[in-house]
């Protein structure tokens, strides 16, 4: 059982216990006080749950994040006094470095009901970075755009609904060259490349987008159009295959460098377990990938028989790697992102690279999903991205933050808006939750769209994790 499944199992067990206790309280209140009291308490309890207890947070807000960074990472000395962050005399920051500040954040009593925020001000790029309600522990702010302001001694930090405690620690991470490079983004599903790396790939000298699956399952939106389950799944797969080829054109990536491999959603793990055994679609009644590969600009090894096997997937990836010869590969992070297809996508790329005559100089990991907190990045559209929760200090992490201008954020939002999977309206339950949270906790949705990914992905930063670089190897 994966860590994500273990956390979900524990969460559901605790929720069942809580519901049982609530039921006992409602029954006793009706018997001992008044018959109508359980109805009032049930409504109040449901509203309170939707407002303050509906987040999937699988750790205590009082836990310290436990990061370790690579040895010899620069640690410029800083001090926080009177809300102003200052460098020691004579300290010079590297241009373009990713700057991460660790400090303790302690929620006020109101911060248990309203999201605590750290505001960064003093220059031309003010920012806000949001943390868990009730936070009381070590957290990591992203100061990557604040280097010039910090160097001038003008950077101010202010906690809203929280206090900033203790002496902060600053890390400075150098970035490998990413511009004027050949970049290949590995997307397990259509939209993963845009969610994680639109800003990066839209600015690269040459970009390739490789999407592994058609993403055909969970097609209930299309069933409401009168299609049966199989027809709906096939239509959704065809639409998302189109998205994976067409949407990158918005960023100037030619369709000749966009490839849809057409394997089936949530079947990569089964393919990996039995490499030569075909794994058909769960919902589209298909065992041939070629329906979803028709728009590809050239023939790949898997087109010979269309078999959805791990062996074919590796052959496709090796062919593409040798054809594109990417200097930078962007792919799901192997431990941060728990989605089964994302884990397998990482494994497939690493297996395809083994022994290959072409090797990239840089590997960047991304996380579109988390084990512990499905609201991360917390906060609103356009705000900064602090580091996510990590509780494994045994694994060194090397963050790399790419700033996105407002214009680039807007273009990214439009690209996401073209993705069919992000277009259906929210279910009624989520609409009610968003309304309640907006009224009681001041949370707001994104102006760009209803789907939660518009809030989470259209941000001031794109955050990656450096897993391999020529600099680190030397």
Q: Could you give the CA distance from residue 100 to residue 461 in angstroms, rounded to a whole number?
A: 13
Range of lowest pLDDT (12-16, 141-145, 227-231): 12-16
Same domain, yes or no: 212 and 329: yes
Same domain, yes or no: 259 and 358: yes
Cβ-based neighbour number of residue 196 at 10 Å:
27
Global pTM exceeds 0.85: yes
Same domain, yes or no: 29 and 91: no
Number of alpha carbons in the 13 Å side-chain half-sphere of residue 215? 21
Q: Could you give the CA distance from residue 185 to residue 329 in angstroms, rounded to a whole number?
A: 6
Q: How confident is the model at residue 34 (pLDDT cuts 50, 70, 90)?
A: confident
What is the structure's pLDDT at 474? 40
List the domain range (segments joined by +) for residue 26: 3-53
| Mean pLDDT computed over 149-169 | 96
Residue 201 lies in a domain: yes
Same domain, yes or no: 19 and 159: no
Same domain, yes or no: 24 and 118: no
Name every residue whose Cβ is closer than 8 Å to that of residue 85 and which is 6 or more positions away in sequence: 78, 79, 101, 150, 155, 156, 157, 168
Summarised one tens digit per residue, pLDDT across range 379-407 is 999 999 999 999 989 989 999 999 999 99
Same domain, yes or no: 190 and 278: yes
Residue 360 lies in a domain: yes
What is the structure's pLDDT at 433? 93
Domain count across the chain: 3
Residue 164 lies in a domain: yes
Same domain, yes or no: 118 and 35: no
Same domain, yes or no: 152 and 222: no
Same domain, yes or no: 363 and 281: yes
| Mean pLDDT computed over 209-225 | 97
């Amino acid at each position: 059982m994966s860590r994500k499944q273990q956390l979900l199992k524990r969460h559901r067990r605790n929720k069942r216990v809580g519901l049982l206790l609530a039921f006992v309280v409602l029954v006793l209140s009706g018997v001992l006080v008044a018959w109508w009291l359980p109805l009032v308490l049930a409504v109040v309890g449901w509203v309170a749950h939707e407002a303050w207890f509906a987040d999937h947070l699988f750790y205590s807000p009082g836990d310290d994040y436990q990061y370790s960074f690579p040895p010899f990472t620069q640690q410029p000395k800083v001090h926080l006094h009177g809300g102003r962050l200052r460098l020691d005399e004579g300290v010079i920051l590297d241009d373009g470095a990713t700057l991460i500040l660790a400090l303790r954040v302690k929620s006020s009593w109101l911060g248990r009901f309203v999201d605590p925020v750290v505001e960064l001000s003093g220059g031309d790029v003010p920012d806000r970075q949001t943390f868990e309600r009730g936070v009381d522990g070590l957290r990591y702010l992203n100061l990557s755009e604040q280097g010039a302001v910090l160097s001038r001694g003008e950077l101010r930090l202010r906690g809203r609904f929280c206090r900033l405690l203790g002496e902060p620690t600053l890390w400075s991470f150098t970035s490998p060259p990413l511009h004027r490079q050949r970049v290949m983004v590995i997307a397990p599903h259509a939209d993963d490349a845009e969610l994680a790396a639109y800003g990066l790939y839209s600015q690269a000298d040459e970009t390739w987008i490789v999407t592994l699956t058609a993403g055909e399952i969970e097609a209930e939106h299309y069933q409401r159009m009168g299609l049966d389950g199989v027809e709906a799944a096939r239509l959704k797969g065809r639409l998302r295959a189109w998205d994976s080829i067409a949407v990158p054109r918005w960023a100037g990536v030619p369709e000749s460098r966009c490839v849809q491999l057409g394997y089936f959603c949530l079947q990569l793990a089964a393919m990996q377990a039995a490499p030569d055994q075909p794994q058909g679609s769960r919902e589209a009644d298909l065992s041939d990938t070629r329906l979803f590969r028709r728009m590809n600009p050239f023939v790949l090894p898997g087109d010979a028989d269309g078999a959805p096997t791990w062996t074919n997937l590796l052959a496709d990836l090796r062919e593409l790697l040798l054809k594109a010869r990417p200097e930078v590969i962007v792919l799901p992070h192997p431990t941060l992102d728990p989605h089964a297809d994302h884990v397998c996508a990482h494994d497939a790329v690493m297996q395809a690279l083994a022994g290959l005559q072409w090797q990239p100089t840089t590997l960047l990991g991304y996380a579109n999903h988390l084990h512990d907190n499905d609201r991360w990045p917390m906060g609103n559209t356009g705000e900064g991205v602090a580091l996510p929760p990590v509780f494994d200090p045994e694994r060194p992490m090397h963050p790399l933050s790419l700033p996105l201008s407002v214009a680039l954020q807007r273009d990214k939002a439009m690209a996401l808006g073209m993705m069919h999977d992000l277009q259906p309206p929210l279910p009624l339950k989520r609409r009610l939750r968003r309304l309640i949270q907006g009224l009681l906790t001041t949370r707001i949705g994104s102006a760009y769209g209803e789907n939660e990914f518009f809030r989470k992905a259209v941000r001031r930063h794109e955050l990656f994790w450096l897993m391999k670089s020529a600099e680190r190897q030397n």
